Structure 1
């Protein structure tokens, strides 16, 4: 039995995307505040920079995967395609709404203005968890077992 990869570019892109999200959203985001000398304002400034960069990198991966889906003419309602489209939708929401809203809140803190309570960070973290799960499913669907050379 051998394992065949349907789309190597998509496999590399999806697992790098998962790695970036896990490393930044689930590790860097809260660890930076544990470093000596990091104030809330400094940590928020770093976070804005890092998450802005992460968002751009995510778009590169999403575009690479999307191109592969188009090239391979993937059916729109297949498990594989839906497992990619949901993270893509969440990335749109993060890009157009969550990140700008979180940036505005961070800017308020940096300017010593305390904004009203908000659940935006929970929405962002929830979206990240859903993205990682869906991307993992998508990545797994890229592998296919074959029985080359097996006689029946």
Structure 2
């Protein structure tokens, strides 16, 4: 029985990606505001820094997954959709959502009026969809 893992780097990268998103988006994002002495201004500054670094880490992990699959001669076939969804969401977050959220955070930090927005909800929904898709993709490439 052959038990060799076909895409070890891709599998590790997918699950590391999931871990980063879950740890930052679903835990750090709101917990930092509960720490003593962390004002909304400081929390927003920390959040901007952390989410911009997370975005760069996600691109590195996405590149690692794609490179691993292509260098292993793998074909994505039906599993491609479950990788395509997080990649599209990452593009949307990188070029629209994060810049828009950064502008809002900076406005708040500067004491300007910040109009209501659903951008945070869009970001959370994108993160949930990304994690679910990555998990399904990870399970499919393990098999």
Shorter-chain TM-score range: over 0.9
1:3-152 pair list within 5 angstroms = 3-75=3-75, 78-144=77-143
Q: What's the offset of the Cα at 1:119? A: 0.2
Q: What's the offset of the Cα at 1:5? A: 2.0
Q: What's the offset of the Cα at 1:19? A: 0.2
Cα separation, 2, equivalents of 1:47 and 1:4: 40
Cα separation, 2, equivalents of 1:41 and 1:117: 17
Q: What's the offset of the Cα at 1:114? A: 2.3
Change (3 A) 1:3 1:130: farther
Greater RCO structure (CA 8 Å; 6+ sep): 1
Larger radius of gyration: 1
Which consecutive residues of structure 1, in runs of 5 or more, have no partner in the other structure? 145-152
Q: CA RMSD in A?
A: 1.4
TM-score after normalising by structure 2? 0.94
Cα separation, 1, equivalents of 2:74 and 2:80: 7
Q: What's the offset of the Cα at 1:75? A: 4.1
Q: What's the offset of the Cα at 1:68? A: 2.1
Cα separation, 1, equivalents of 2:86 and 2:95: 14
Which consecutive residues of structure 2, in runs of 5 or more, have no partner in the other structure? none
What is the number of equivalent residue pairs in this alignment?
143
Which structure's residues are more often helix, by fraction? 2
